[in-house]
Amino acid sequence: MKKSARYSPTCYDCDNSNKSFNLANITIRKTNMAILIEKPETTVALPDLEVLEHARVLLYNDDWHTFDEVIDQLIIAIHCTEKTAENMAWTVHTKGVCQVFEGNLEKCFEVSAVLEEIELKTEVSF
């Protein structure tokens, strides 16, 4: 089989039969000598560095957590004052959602993980 510039084949030994499968743009061909797996090369666009620095964490309202639970978890997650956490909890309660943190993407995922430890619903957006 001719090697194409768009494919990077990998061969594995197998038994003698001719079969071909195509699963999600990955072609698997079973020939009498080997299995040839062709996977199209993909180009991944790297995110803009500005996007990585300006992510945010949104906290959504639910009917399971008390104000005190949300306030305590916000204080742990974003190291804010009790009054700031109370204001955020009230905004979540009245509007359904509140932006509780803004920063780089990595830190946003850390804050989100802490909030989700008690199963609060969050979203990291950028």
Q: Which two tokens stand for residue 93?
A: 């309660």
Q: Report whether 86 contacts 71 (CB < 8 A).
A: yes
Mean pLDDT across the stretch 75-84?
97
State both tokens at 54: 């300006």
Ramachandran category for residue 24: left, alpha or beta (phi over 0 → left; psi -120 to 50 → alpha): left
**Interatomic CA distance for residues 121 and 9, integer angstroms:** 43
CATH of range 49-125; options 3.40.1160.10, 1.20.120.160, 3.40.50.970, 3.30.1390.10: 3.30.1390.10
Tens digits of per-residue pLDDT, 12-63? 444 444 444 444 555 555 555 555 555 566 666 655 655 567 899 999 999 9
Alpha-carbon gap, residue 56 to 108, rounded angstroms:
6
Give me the pLDDT at residue 54, please. 85
Give domain limits for the chain.
1-44, 49-125
Distance of CA 17 to the CA centre of its chain: 41
